Structure 1
């Protein structure tokens, strides 16, 4: 540990959050950014009242022990610390308690004698950066993550007091829930635990990891706010309960049982209820983590004993584990990988043309995840149907199928005309039309693959649609190489034509998904690189869904 002076909060603020260098490489890095320090006043407070007003800096430079605690449990810890003061009216004593968000503590240079974060995962994450804390016994407290919202909504999503992440995702995708908001998983324990639970819940629905990720991303694509703090949301609902636009824009959101109880104890006009998701129950726990060179071991143990179970229960916490709570992964990088993918998704206005290979090779037999026998086309129908749910409400989309079953056939046919995802196509929405088109997708036997001509036509089709404030893309999925059609051309010819089409003022990136062992990945990489896009390989056809998920993430990455 640093010298005693290093236990003070540094003036000015410093490092802020964990990120991954890239979604594919699971590397943990700390990125410099603005830091907010949450502090409580030193005046006595009711532990059920929640966070006290913020203080500007440490006021107790002579403390023998410095403790960092998550803001919601800090009042309980602070009350226990004051029992060691000789003068109860003295704001300072032998123990100083700093209320600080765990993400700040985990990434900051300041180290503490004792750390009580809102999840044991933060201790492991801090260990990756070299901070050494040991946890010798069970957590002090626990509180499960619940889905909360106004009673009118929770009656809908949690009949009988039970809900699920799958139900929330389906309700959001179908517009049955006005809004879903969540906290940032890279800076918030509730966000981190919720994203972990969503991914685990979706993994239970299918043996295909790619499809599970697509289903998780469906919820992410429907969030009205992905960086909301649950405590701040509840504060808004308490004061703006009569503003229907505020209430509907918040909708339902994950929080902890402890935070929800604190709101309910306030007897606010707008009533909130909550339920734990049965398909992904996770809980915040509060470990008592001791620094390896803690300055006062005796005082540390006395403090732990002074934090009593009745005090924690009065503050709304549980002191035993929740039945059926899922254990968190033992690898902190895995936890952060899910958080980084989720946070890296950007809600962007998108215009996309989907080009789907309908050549004869799509009818080849494959072994799908779980061992079942199917065809490439059948697996695409399954994956594509789920992918149709991913597009946000401000997306405009169209879809072509390409293949040439006879010499007189065109290179491609329009399966869904381009337009707003919420717009009408005959008697259905465009999203419904996409789903129906994918469900009816069939590949013609012995059909050629006019890949290059279709990409050229697709880019030409989308270029006039480029507009400021929107990302315009062509997404192509193919399982083979350009050939066996009257539109066949060499790769040099294609690349020259593609280069002649380029307009730096109106870029149309191509995102290419190569599907199966016969695909020409060099051609896909070259066309994507030439247009500022990316290519993704699913050499094993069973990996198709994962490749589609990567392409979807790339489409929503900031540019």
Structure 2
């Protein structure tokens, strides 16, 4: 949810003896820098340029690291020992300042790129934050390296709840375990916000994958789980621990505001148990279909702006963290080896016990696309969405998609219908289409009002069914051009006028080209007007998706950013479903953060 050595992975995916398959990412801690470590140091030593007599204070290379709060104490202990032992990089002492900071906060700051970081190294708890930090590619560049530790995601329970669920003998899949917790009168289940917690997101993704394997209406089941978790959601992993009942009194005597079970990492349970008396200790369930791992990827930040000495020192510290002495310190803090293996003492101290399958191979990490889908589902399930969907119906939408015997419009319709399945009956969605002179002098036409999907429709059926039929009926307008600007402004004003408080209000525009209406408002005037009317107290982000090679992502992004939204590009219309969910998640999280 180790990863990389330089320059290649430590093991080939799918090898029988290696760690479980994980999401691949390109590793690029600069080859030139690595070569410089070997060549440059040799030259410097031969030329007498490195002085080994200077005091450490005078010549030290000083680095700053932002580390996930759970691993920060262990890494700080390693850094302090390195300083005490006068660890050197190219003959200069290495001082690393370790600051604990939530991974989602660092990822969002890097993605925005609005401030130059004052740190050179980032150690998040999961590589899923790397994708978030990269965002649309406009933020601060990051360079992933080796993982330094791991910790499985589990379900932690107070003893009374563990007993009611049959711990330690009874084994569950993720889907079975959450269903048992939801159905039990003796277990109240809590979690950290998946938009802010890798543990929460990986657990929710695992629940979804497990439910899908069970068959049936898995989407509805996961949405129900998300709704339940949202009612007892905490901001982060530290806060979710604070929601646990303070004694082992059970549901009947304990406070109804307290949880008896929480989704938690093994390491967090280890730390909690080390600080608790017997009555406050936690027992851990390890789902039999595999637990995803937090993997702590060592990451360089803005590498090209680092000096050669800083780059070398950063690589030296990464190497140190994977050496036996540092790994011992990490294990003393409850972390597992990079490959997910652990000694009995770590597991027992965390609350694991046989026959719970704590030694089972970790589950394969979900793909970036799967995580985006889970986050999008979380956002729209928890908050409820109100979306005005605006679809390009210009003649170019009849263009055949390369590799498919379908037009852009046909593939777009199928993707929209698929995306519709991710929304709940409480979500509100409407539909507009646009092309030049589509409706008299107007470039747009409202096909379906923005209403609750579960509401009954005139003539029978539900609004969801009527909307799906309207999607299916969309057709390109022969000779119609792209009337983008006037349509965007009209749809945005309409969404503002019908704003519903408490929901995620947004306008989703899909277009396969740039504006082609010479009579319309100009782009600069449109951007200025959107900026003027955008209301932070009633946010309506514009989510603009450029479809196909002729579409201009820069154009749609310029329009969307002033509203708190963003522009996206897909080369294949089949990607629209995933991008809509990603866009909803990103905008929803940004607006939530802005309102705090």
Using the size of structure 2 for normalisation, the TM-score is 0.49
1:460 to 493, 496, 500: 493
**SS in structure 1 of the partner of residue 102 of structure 2:** strand
Distance 2:570 2:586 in 1: 15
Residue ranges of structure 1 left out of the alignment (5+ in a row) = 8-12, 33-104, 108-117, 123-127, 173-177, 206-214
Structure 2 unaligned blocks of 5 or more: 1-78, 86-97, 130-141, 215-220, 297-317, 333-341
1:275-307 deviations in Å (ceiling 9; x for gaps)? 7273x6436799xxx99599x97xx79x98xx9
Tell me, yes or no, if the aligned pair for 1:511 and 1:535 is still in contact at 8 Å.
yes
Q: RMSD of the alignment, in Å? A: 6.6
Q: How does 1:440-451 map to 2 (within 5 A)?
A: 440-444=472-476, 446=478, 448-449=480-481, 450-451=483-484
Report SS of the residue matched to 2:263: strand
Residue 387 of structure 2 corresponds to residue 352 of structure 1: yes
1:2 is aligned to 80
Alpha-carbon deviation of 1:515? Answer: 0.5
Q: Are 1:401 and 2:411 matched, yes or no?
A: no
Q: Is the 8 A contact 1:354 1:398 kept in 2?
A: yes
| Match 1:515 to one of 547, 561, 578 | 547
Residue of structure 1 equivalent to 2:396 = 361
Q: Deviations over 1:486-544 (max 9, x none)?
A: xx334654654775674355775432111011224454244335555422222454543
Over 3 Å counting, the alpha-carbon distance change for 1:388 and 1:227 in structure 2 is farther
Match of 1:326 among 360, 363, 366: 363
Who is 1:534 aligned against?
A: 566
Q: How far apart in 1 are the matches of 2:84 and 2:487?
A: 63
CA distance in structure 2 between the aligned counterparts of 1:555 and 1:193, rounded to whole angstroms: 20
Q: Which structure has more helix as a fraction of its residues?
A: 2
Who is 2:312 aligned against?
none
Give how far 1:324 is off: 4.5
Aligned to 2:235: 227
1:125-159: CA deviation from partner (whole Å, max 9, x where unpaired): xxx99999988xxx9xx8663598999xx99xxxx
SS at match of 2:551: coil
Partner of 2:107: 20
* CA 1:432–1:348: 2 relative to 1, 3 Å: same
Shift of 1:545: 4.0
Question: C-alpha separation between the residues in 2 aligned to 1:339 and 1:406?
Answer: 34
Matched, 1:383 2:394: no
- Report if the CA contact (8 A) 2:154-2:287 is conserved: yes
Instruction: Report the counterpart of residue 87 of structure 1 in structure 2.
Output: none
CA contact (8 A) 2:384 2:427 kept: yes
User: Alpha carbons of 1:180 and 1:350: their partners in 2 closer, same or farther (altered >3 Å)?
Assistant: farther
Partner of 1:489: 518
Is 1:241–2:251 an aligned residue pair?
Answer: yes
* Deviation digits for residues 143-191 of structure 1 (CA, Å, limit 9, x no counterpart): 663598999xx99xxxx9654569989xx9xxxxx99853256986743
Shift in Å, 1:443? 1.7
1:400 match: secondary structure: strand
Change (3 A) 1:281 1:470: closer
Aligned ranges 1:239-388 → 2 under 5 Å? 241-242=251-252, 254-255=263-264, 276=287, 278=289, 281-282=291-292, 309=344, 313=348, 316-317=351-352, 322-326=359-363, 351-367=386-402, 373-388=405-420
CA contact (8 A) 1:192 1:339 kept: no
Contact 1:218 1:390 in 2 (8 A): no
Q: CA deviation at 1:254?
A: 3.5
Whether the aligned pair in 1 keeps the contact of 2:395 and 2:478 (CA below 8 Å) is yes
